[in-house]
Each structure stands twice: as structure tokens, then as C-alpha cells.
Amino acid sequence: MNGRIKLGDCFLQLEPRTLVIAELHLGKPLIRDRKLSEQEIIQTFGRIRSLINEYNSKEVLILGDVKEQIGLPPKPVQRKIRHGFESILNHTDRVKIIKGNHDGRIEDFLDIEGISFAYKEERRVGSQKVVLFHGHKFFPVNTYDIAITAHIHPAANISSDTLAVPIVKTWAIFDLIHQKGEAKWVILPAFSPWITGVSLNTLPKNDIKRLMPFKGKNEIEIKRLELLYTDLTPLVERSFSLL
């Protein structure tokens, strides 16, 4: 990995001073308990503020699925989310939301100065070209050195007779080979505490390829996959034979 891209516990630091997170799914507990949903929103933004202050982040980049409802959430949830973003803008200069499949009509209630929206972000990090997007839309990878996405909710199945929690959320880091060379593909774990994800250590290679959010993915080969626990403890390493 590029030394200017640093992984943390469900977040990523991208130089210069950009905090990257994904998969907040705010309002997810709403179906069970509205009060719990409001508490979850408050706690999530509190955690984001803490990270901004700890790393002196000048920008927050969210790779999609800010909210759980695909359409507009209920008014109380909209107000809580809006207030949360207003609170973090007191601690950072700007927020950019790279829209995901759950972010329909999010601009309707986040029309706030300092917040912008897009479907893709491109950065130059040192000598490397980096592309960041949610993962529900397809973009080419063969013109970049590193692709950073979300959407899949990476996880690992670590079940055994002694473990009560068999599936844990993880970072996923792929080495890819394409027609023009090689690239890294990094998938963020969900920032939401309510989500684990897809067990990539037990998924066949062809099924993983079907999950790829890249144009021309039939021409892309997976060379290696590493799964890290959210605290960056190595969990699984898989190597794949190349066709």
C-alpha cells in the first residue's frame, strides 16, 4: 500500500488530511426502535468528530450509503442526520459524499454549505493515481494504481467450536492484474456497528469477480486477497491461480 494511505478502525486517512469512511447506514435501527435510531445517529457523528479532531482532518470523504432508507427517511431522521453534518462542519472544512445506492434524494435535506456530492473522486497520492467510489456503479480500474470502494461490506468467516461470533467485518485488500498492468483494490469495512458483511474468505473466486465494480472485469484477474480485522490484525490471505 501507499504509505500516504493509512488504514484505521473502519476508516482511512488519505493525505493530505482527508478522513475517508463509508457505509454509515444511518437510521438502520429505525424499524425496531426510533429512539435507538436517534441514539445511533448521535453516536455515529460523535465518533466522526472524534476522528476529525484526533487526525486534524480538513476534509471528510464518505464513500456512500450515508442513510439506510433508499428513498427519503422520515422527517425526524432527516433532521438528526442534517444536525449531525452541521456539527462535524464545525470541526472540518468540508464534506464530500460519494453517493451510494442508499443515498437517493439525500441532497433534498443535506443542502448545506460545505457539503458536496459526486459519484467518483480521483486523487493523486504521491506518484500514484487513486480512484474512490461507492461500488454500485462501474468504473474502469486500468487507468489507476489504487481503487478504494465500499458497497460489498467485506467480512470473514472465522467460525469454530469456541467462537460465539463466526463472522466479523474486515478490510479487504486485493492485488489485481489487468491488461495494462496491476492495481490494488481496497474495500472499506462498514462504519456502521450494525453491519458485518460478505464472508470473502469462503467465497469462490468467480463469485468475488462478479462483485467487482469495474468495467471490463472479465479481463481482470485476482492475484491475491488479504483480509484484515478492523484493528488491522491479519486474518486471512488467499492466493489465486492465474488463467
* Predicted confidence (pLDDT) per residue in 2-50, tens digit: 779 999 999 999 988 999 999 999 988 655 566 667 889 999 999 999 9
Round to whole Å and give the CA distance between 171 and 1.
13
Question: Between 220 and 29, whose confidence is greater?
Answer: 220
**For residue range 93-152, what is the model confidence (pLDDT) as tens digits?**
999 999 999 999 999 999 999 999 999 999 999 999 999 999 999 999 999 999 999 999
Q: Where are the domains of the chain?
A: 5-239
User: What CATH number does domain 5-239 carry, 3.60.21.10, 3.30.360.10, 3.40.50.720, 1.10.10.10?
Assistant: 3.60.21.10
Task: Specify the pLDDT at position 33.
Answer: 60
Distance CA 56, CA 51 (A): 8
Position 1: which residue type? Answer: M
Question: What was the pLDDT predicted at 166?
Answer: 80
Task: Please state, rounded to an integer, the average pLDDT across all residues of the chain.
Answer: 93
CA atoms of 171 and 9, how far apart (whole Å): 9
Question: What CA–CA distance (Å, rounded) separates 9 from 232?
Answer: 7
Give SS3 for 235.
strand
The percentage of residues in the chain with a pLDDT greater than 70, rounded to a whole number, is 93
CB neighbour burial string for 192-224, b if at least 16 within 10 angstroms, e if fewer? beebbbbbbbebeeeebbeebbbeebeebbbee
21 vs 166: which has the higher pLDDT: 21
Say what the pTM is.
0.94
* Mean pLDDT for the stretch of residues 209-236: 95
pLDDT for 241 equals: 79
